[in-house]
């Protein structure tokens, strides 16, 4: 049996950050991962440029059953700490939009940085290894560490950190291993579902919306619980995507409608004042993509409202209200989501009530830690999820 102070399962963003911090404290750290290539998700992230954090990280940008849980870790290792690390390595970066920070070159810069830090701190990383069995070594009911069976070897460690991520993108190595391990140790795992994911269409919407593939426009997307995102909506061959849709998908439950504000309330009233003789369709085509306007006129909600195309000044208040209801709160009931195949994140996971918000250690299993996406913590699109991986990994790294 080979003995280590700390074994980290998963060499993703959270696992490597934790390993680096623990090794910097003089701990002997082994990281195990089954992936052929380290940092696969980081490499794919941000369209290949890794949106590694955000200037505006705040706890309200995270979905978690206990919304207070994330506060401590995000404050102790903030976006400014990670930006400091990126700058220490001379990695050029830029703000794209809404505080989102991307590498100027490629995401490989972030992987190289993490591997360089790991090497300098003395972390041992083994990739392409299968983890077959994990057991708690109890001596007279006292937790005496863990044993980990991996590719024919048995390792022993005092502290075990689970950083195996969520279920998104199985082709990049995602597995339910972390959830199974939590359950093995009696910890509650909250139901999981795909987040930051495109919507598919109901059969009745396909005829009018599929031909819009490629059309993109700024909207405000809102969910039934009142959450709103002002970003772009993109129509695709498969359904609805774009940042507004990815963001709101994390707040969507099956069967609910999403409302899209295509034009702000009051826009039509202003149009009537400014262009009383312009026909509705012409006016709309000046405000929205032409293909979308044509599709709107074909849709059932438009036909049910019985709105004819005529000069704006001829509309009576009842018709104006009906038009506004469509253009300022256009309701679409998605058929579903594209699921884990294309989702950026997994909602749900290890219940944070089971964990210390300061150290990420399981309250009922001493020396067992969960960090990163395997936990029930999911951030918005825009660098929030990597920041959670850095922050939670850093916190565990101070104590393991």
CA atoms 349, 351, 352, 354: torsion sign: negative
- 179 or 260: CB nearest ligand FDA: 179
Segment interacting with ligand FDA, rule: CB under 6 A, options 165-173, 206-214, 291-299, 314-322: 165-173
**Per-residue string for binding with ligand FDA, 320-359, x by CB under 6 A?**
------------------------xx--------------
Give CA–CA dist 33/15, Å, rounded.
10
Q: Where are the alpha helices (DSSP H) in the chain?
A: 13-24, 40-44, 70-76, 79-88, 108-121, 177-184, 203-209, 243-249, 267-274, 280-287, 290-298, 300-304, 317-328, 384-397
**Rounded least distance, CB 374 to ligand FDA, Å:** 6
- 33 or 261: CB nearest ligand FDA: 33
List of residues 6+ apart from 151 with CB closer than 8 A: 129, 130, 132
- 132 or 303: CB nearest ligand FDA: 132
- 62 or 384: CB nearest ligand FDA: 384
> Is there binding between residue 373 and ligand FDA (CB under 6 A)?
yes
Rg value, the chain, Cα: 25
**Rounded least distance, CB 111 to ligand FDA, Å:** 11
> Is there binding between residue 173 and ligand FDA (CB under 6 A)?
yes
* 35 token code pair: 């992936």
Residues 30-59 that bind ligand FDA (CB under 6 A): 33-35, 41, 44-46, 50-51
Cα dihedral 217→222→223→226 (10° resolution): 170
Total residues at interface with ligand FDA (CB under 6 A): 33
Give CA–CA dist 31/18, Å, rounded.
10
Q: Please pick, from the candidates 118, 121, 146, 165, the single residue that binds ligand FDA as defined by CB under 6 A.
A: 165
Determine contact, residues 168/194, Cβ cutoff 8 Å. Answer: yes
Q: Please pick, from the candidates 195, 239, 372, 397, the single residue that binds ligand FDA as defined by CB under 6 A.
A: 372
> Is there binding between residue 117 and ligand FDA (CB under 6 A)?
no
Determine contact, residues 377/70, Cβ cutoff 8 Å. Answer: yes
Determine contact, residues 53/386, Cβ cutoff 8 Å. Answer: yes
- 231 or 373: CB nearest ligand FDA: 373
- 34 or 259: CB nearest ligand FDA: 34
Binding site for ligand FDA (CB under 6 A): 10-15, 33-35, 41, 44-46, 50-51, 131, 163-165, 168-169, 173, 175, 177, 344-345, 372-373, 383-386, 389
């Amino acid at each position: 049996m080979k003995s280590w102070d700390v074994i980290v399962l998963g060499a993703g963003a959270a696992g490597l950050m934790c390993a680096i911090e623990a090794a910097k404290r003089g701990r002997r750290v082994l990281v195990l991962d089954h992936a052929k290539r380290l940092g696969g998700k980081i490499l794919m992230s941000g369209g290949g440029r890794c949106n590694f954090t955000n200037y505006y990280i705040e706890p309200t940008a995270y979905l978690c059953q206990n919304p207070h849980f994330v506060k401590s870790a995000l404050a102790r290792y903030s976006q400014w700490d990670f930006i400091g690390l990126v700058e220490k390595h001379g990695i050029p970066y830029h703000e794209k939009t809404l505080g989102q920070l991307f590498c100027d070159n490629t995401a490989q810069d972030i992987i190289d940085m993490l591997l360089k830090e790991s090497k300098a701190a003395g972390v041992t990383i083994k990739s392409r290894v299968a983890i077959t069995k994990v057991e708690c070594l109890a001596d007279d009911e006292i937790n005496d560490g863990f044993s980990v069976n991996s590719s024919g070897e048995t390792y022993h460690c005092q502290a075990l950190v689970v950083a195996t991520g969520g279920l998104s993108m199985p082709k990049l190595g995602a597995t339910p291993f972390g959830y199974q391990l939590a359950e093995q140790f009696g910890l509650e795992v909250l139901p999981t579902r795909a987040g930051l994911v495109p919507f598919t269409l109901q059969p009745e919407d396909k005829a009018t919306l599929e031909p819009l593939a490629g059309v993109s426009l700024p909207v405000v997307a809102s969910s039934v619980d009142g959450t709103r995102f002002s970003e772009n909506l993109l129509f695709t061959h498969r359904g609805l995507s774009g940042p507004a849709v990815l963001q709101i998908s994390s707040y969507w439950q099956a069967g609910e409608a999403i409302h899209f504000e295509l034009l702000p309330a009051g826009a039509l009233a202003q149009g009537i004042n400014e262009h009383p003789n312009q026909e509705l369709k012409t006016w709309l085509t000046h405000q929205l993509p032409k293909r979308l306007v044509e599709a709107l006129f074909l849709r059932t909600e438009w036909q049910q409202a019985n709105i004819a195309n005529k000069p704006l000044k001829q509309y009576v208040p009842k018709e104006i209200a009906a038009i506004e209801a469509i253009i300022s709160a256009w309701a679409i009931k998605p058929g579903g989501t594209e699921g884990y195949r294309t989702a950026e994140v997994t909602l749900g996971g290890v219940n944070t009530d089971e964990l210390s918000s300061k150290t990420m250690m399981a309250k009922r299993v001493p020396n067992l830690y969960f960090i990163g996406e395997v936990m029930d913590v999911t951030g918005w699109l825009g660098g929030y999820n990597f920041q959670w991986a850095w922050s939670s990994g850093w916190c565990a790294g101070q104590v393991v």
